[in-house]
Chains A and B, each alone.
Chain A
Amino acid sequence: MPSLGAIRSRARSRSRPLPRPTERSALPLRDLLAEALAGLLQRPGRSALTMLGTVLGIGAFVAILGLTATAGGQIDKRFSVLSATEVTVQDVGSAQNARSGTGIADPISFPPDADHRIETLNGVVSAGVYWPLPLRQPTVSAAPDLVSPGSASGSGLTLYAASPGALAAIDPVYSQGLGFNAFHAARKEHVAVLGSAAASRLGITRLDAEPAVFINGTPYTVVGIISDLRRVPELLLSVVIPDTTALSAYGQPTDQRASMLIETRLGAAQLIAGQAALALRPDAPNLFKITAPPDPTTLRDGVTGDFNALFLLLAGITLVIGAVGIANTTLVAVLERTGEIGLRRALGARPRHIAAQFLTESAALGTLGGLIGTSLGTAVVIGTALARQWTAVLAPWTVLPAPLIGTMVGLLAGLYPALRAAYVEPAEALRR
């Protein structure tokens, strides 16, 4: 081993004859690019196949990120329309009674003026209490006599009590008549609103003749038929009577406790959720469980996060395969073109010029693959969005750097072959 000093002095002695006989060789950038392009175009078919891995990898990368963003935006939109304006308040009763398990139900926790208390809050559109009627195996029919021929059976229908506010909060569309109102509720009128499915089950289609439904033989005049609603869709299969009527006729709700449905203005849901329990029962706000709409942002992140992790891994694997493909082809090209390398060295090319040429070729392959992949990925996202009538969402930070990732892949893949090419001995290569 020569000492460091010896190496230094040798380096100095070698660099001593300073007056250079000629300018050193150079490879201008334009010539480098032209040479690399010519190298790629020599075998266009092979170049195209080599690019395929990068095309697929980058394409998958862009398509996955684009599709998840698009789908996420879609989920986001749906939630913002309905759920973001909806708060539900559940009557959970006092924990003490629930624990004791006596079977004796708590009285309803909602005060009688619950609708009014909530509706006076700023931001509330409508609010009301509803619960399933506490009846075991009720008989529901369109005729007083159940066994009379021709009367349609109402079995399988559910029975609900609802305050006029709750009836408004479900956002119903009436095909016949209208819902009951505060007047009916105050007078504990025996009226009912039918969901469209319940109405057809009972054979009631028109209200001209003031039909009635009979619950355990008690008649209720049908005042409205709901053809469509936006919340609590099970009410379509139900007979709904005013809450005051239900309380006096059937007593407190038992198995399934009452809930309150609040429709808020857009953006007010979180606020109302914070205020509702106190507004209802300042003395015992913990009798209620408030369900606010999910925060759309966290929801979307959760959905996209699951997709991304898996599919981006797949895209990454594809990219690695693409890189191996480029490395392999470039290495084969180096071995094939040993004679050319020798010739270039004889013509004055330095090893770095040879390396730069092959590195540029592989980087160009990667970039081109990245560009094509990005285009294909974008096309997939837009095509899917068009087919589903979604709004395509493509973040610039996924589309813009995607071709550059291809360049990086190409550069990495070309590193070893380029070094091999640079170390080709010209004398040896020219003998072929």
Chain B
Amino acid sequence: MIAVSRELPAGPDTDADNDADQSAAPVIDFAAVGMTYPGPPPVVALRPTNLTIQRGDFVTVVGPSGSGKSTFLNVVGLLDRPTTGRYRLDGIDVGTLREADRTALRGRRIGFVFQAFHLLPHRSAVDNVTLAQIYNGAPRKARREASYAALAQVGLAHRADAVPAHLSGGERQRVAVARALVNRPSLLLCDEPTGNLDSATAASVLALIEDLHAAGLTILVITHDPAVAARGSRTVAIRDGVLTEHA
């Protein structure tokens, strides 16, 4: 409940609502959310979809390239606005929010893990993790401690001062996971997290994700690899912009 205590100073009324939302509402609630890129000709990238991801779920989304995975990721990650439907994140209707509020929400409630890691090459692991805290008002003194804790959580406490060039691929992705975790997000959003890794290191990263799920984190993994998709507690297939959940 650390997230709750951090929200408190914002204002009593809204926080009471949000807290209620956060505990009760699903993390992701799609109501007929669809995405059509304006033409010409208009391209329907995501057909209107209903999808609910509850707190503590581990959902994998699997589909070939060009199936609409990226569009789905961008909409979930608040990087793009859907053209139809209503998307609630932690019970908040993000469609009505201004861009600045969506950006703030993205930085605090969604932890991104990318296929390409996106670590800053000249900064140590702990500095890379700390980068996630500079925009969201985290007190400067507490940042490094939080970064070390996140690195310990992914088993990299001993590599905290190494620069990415001196880390293996698996270690780099673990640093990226630590960066995604450090703000205690509602959702860990992973885009092909093992796409750049060999099978052995991929297995260790997946094991880490499973550990985080076991610890209660809500996780959404987007992948083209059926073997990775099989690790989720729920799997959603996407094909030609249509989401179908396997029973």
Point out residues on A near B: beta carbons under 8 Å: 14-17, 19-28, 30-31, 35, 38, 41-42, 339-340, 342-350, 353, 426-427, 430-432
Contacts and interface: CB of A to CB of B under 8 A. Distances in A.
B112 interface: yes
B120 to A, nearest CB: 6
7 contacts: A14-B96, A20-B10, A21-B104, A24-B104, A41-B122, A346-B79, A430-B118
Interface stretch (B51-59, B132-140, B211-219, B225-233): B132-140
A340 B98 contact: no
B133 to A, nearest CB: 9
B79 A427 contact: yes
Contact of B7 (A22, A344, A345, A431): A22
Contact of B118 (A14, A15, A30, A343): A343
Interface in B102-126: 103-110, 112, 114, 116, 118, 120-123
A347 B101 contact: no
A349 B98 contact: no
- Which residue, B100, B179, B191, has most C-beta atoms of chain A within 10 A? B100
B134 A24 contact: no
- Which residue, A15, A20, A426, has most C-beta atoms of chain B within 10 A? A20
B93 interface: yes
Nearest to A16: B96
A19 B101 contact: no
B168 interface: no
Contact of B98 (A14, A346, A347): A14
Given A347-B179, A432-B116, 8 more contacts: A19-B11, A26-B137, A27-B135, A31-B140, A41-B122, A343-B112, A344-B135, A350-B103
A24 B100 contact: yes
Given A349-B135, A426-B79, A431 B101 contact: no
A412 B226 CA distance: 52
Contact of A19 (B17, B108, B137): B17
B80 interface: yes
B23 interface: no
A19 B92 CA distance: 10
B103 A21 contact: no
Nearest to A425: B79
A253 B130 CA distance: 96
B112 to A, nearest CB: 5
Contacts of A349: 103, 107, 135
Given A15-B98, A21-B18, A426-B79, A345 B103 contact: yes
Nearest to B7: A22
Contacts of A31: 134, 140
A396 B86 CA distance: 63
